Amino acid sequence: MTLPAFRVLQPRTVEDAVRMLDEHRSDAMVIAGGTDVIPNLQMRLFTPRVLVDVKPLRELAVIEFSARQGLHIGATATLTHILETPWMRDKFAVLASAIGTVAGPLQRNMGTIGGNLCLETRCRWYNQSHFWRQSLGGCLKKDGDICHVAPGGKFCWAAWSGDSAPAFLALDAELEIASLSGTRRVPLREFYKNDGMDRIALARNELLTAVHVPAHMAGRRGVYQKLRVRDSIDYPLAGVAVAMEVDSAGICKDARVALSAVNPAPMLVTQAGESLIGRKWSLELAERVAHAAIQTGKPLTTSGSTPVYRRDMVRVFTRRALEETWKNGHGSA
């Protein structure tokens, strides 16, 4: 599979980059590590005339933590750089756990956090060569008018298949987004649109510049559990992130549970916090939250595994992640 023709523009600053995006709008795409963009270009999933290469923008590669400002990770920081930051595992256990499961070492060396948070949604009917897709007449997301996952409908169910987003959701993260008109901050939970075709609230002339986690989230216990075909490299078929604060008596003071790969968006299990706060660990309570998780996740035939199995694994992972985090103090600082 060969690449289509395109021009690569190399901005020197963020201002340069947003000016280029503004100038070329729908003809342009951002490329960072390229680990998702390049295979998708080879499959002809999109054919931009211009790629704006932001990876060399060193100003966006900064990783910082302070007790006042919290965690700041610039969009072009690589996943390996994040994992190798000495205090990351202690302060943001769920994030280190999730990022450690992304792809394999080569993709983590190249791949950036900005690219991970802006991934394309994935579906077995979409992530295929042009030749393969053409034989079926395309699909709603590309070159067709039918959804092969839910043939009667007009909604695209392609799944959000990134691993860091649920961890950041569990940490109440915010994104920093730049455009010609300045910078805006948006809570991560408002960034994902739960629509396989129109996945994120980011205009074509905007650039994700950083992700922030509030300081009070530092030191939370947490873990990410993931289902995939090959543990060495694959995208998630289901993922569960848990982050919680537990006091010395073992009582949960605050908690978030978030899911990946079972909806067109990564999602918080909204009932989880209410059920857990003020409670001590019990298997019955964990089962109740696991039940809420499977009501939030709606896996369909978007990937190689069956919806029933993935749904069941969301239940198992939620229970296990709560047990590891709470009972065994996994990820405690």
Ligand X SMILES: Cc1cc2nc3c(=O)[nH]c(=O)nc-3n(C[C@H](O)[C@H](O)[C@H](O)COP(=O)(O)OP(=O)(O)OC[C@H]3O[C@@H](n4cnc5c(N)ncnc54)[C@H](O)[C@@H]3O)c2cc1C
CA separation for the pair 297, 259 (Å, rounded) = 7
Binding mask 184-223 for ligand X (x = CB under 6 A): ------------------x----xx---------------
Could you say whether residue 239 binds ligand X (CB under 6 A)? no
Smallest gap from Cβ 228 to ligand X, in A, equals 6
Could you say whether residue 159 binds ligand X (CB under 6 A)? no
Could you say whether residue 115 binds ligand X (CB under 6 A)? yes
Residue choice 16, 234, 254, 323 for contact with ligand X (CB under 6 A): 234
Q: Which is nearer to ligand X, 1 or 233 (CB)?
A: 233
**What residues from 11 to 40 belong to the interface with ligand X (CB under 6 A)?**
29-37, 39
Q: Which is nearer to ligand X, 208 or 286 (CB)?
A: 208
Size of the site for ligand X (CB under 6 A): 34
Could you say whether residue 244 binds ligand X (CB under 6 A)? no
Q: Which is nearer to ligand X, 52 or 149 (CB)?
A: 52
154 with 197: CB under 8 angstroms? no
Residue choice 20, 77, 102, 218 for contact with ligand X (CB under 6 A): 102
Smallest gap from Cβ 287 to ligand X, in A, equals 28
Residues that bind ligand X (CB under 6 A): 29-37, 39, 54, 75, 79, 102-103, 107, 110-112, 114-116, 118-120, 162-163, 202, 207-208, 233-236
